[in-house]
Amino acid sequence: MATVPTQPISGGGLDPSARSAARLGAVQALYQMDVAGTPLDDVIEEFIEHRLGRDIEGVEINAADAVHFEDVVRGVVREQRELDKQVNGALAQGWSLARIDSTLRAILRCGTYEIRRCKDIPVKVVINEYVDVAHAFFEGDEPGVANAVLDRLGREIRHGTGADHGAAGQG
């Protein structure tokens, strides 16, 4: 079995907004893979070459941490079974990942991956970032679902107090 890194190497010189842009891109890439069936390597190449940090319809997009983007996308695909088990266990009774919108599913998988593997990023940063991503796509209850599920998983995975539990690093 391959060794999985617990702390990915990231573009250390980039500001936190670069990781925010990487997270948004990761959710979009996973959504595209889910809905359109785009292969992993193709979607990573497309996003790095043509989407991350590019202006979209006149809206300026921050530069993205391409290394963090790729780590999250590849990590979610590699660990999807385990991530899905954890997310399913954290959902409200009667709910399952299969019943959730594809975008919210991608958000929960990405957030759970970062909580599990990116120990240099405080849990509250991961939760806040993915709740912000949820707000970019949804106006209903979905951001609250993302907050609740990721907070529960943060406490469970990092044995802390969810959004109040952190590490020394920044997002």
* Domain locations in the chain as residue ranges: 16-53+62-162
Looking at residue 1, what is its pLDDT?
A: 33
Looking at residue 159, what is its pLDDT?
A: 82
Q: What is the mean pLDDT of each run of 10 residues along the chain (171 residues)?
A: 37 70 95 95 92 61 86 98 96 90 97 96 96 96 96 91 46 53
Looking at residue 54, what is its pLDDT?
A: 62
Looking at residue 52, what is its pLDDT?
A: 84
Class of domain 16-53+62-162: mainly alpha
Distance in angstroms (rounded) separating the CA atoms of residues 97 and 129 = 20
Are the CB atoms for 131 and 90 separated by under 8 Å?
no
Contacts 24+ apart (CB under 8 A), 134-142: 134/104, 134/107, 136/24, 137/103, 137/104, 137/107, 138/103, 138/104, 142/101, 142/104
**171, 164, 170: which is closest to 124 by C-alpha?**
164
Looking at residue 80, what is its pLDDT?
A: 97
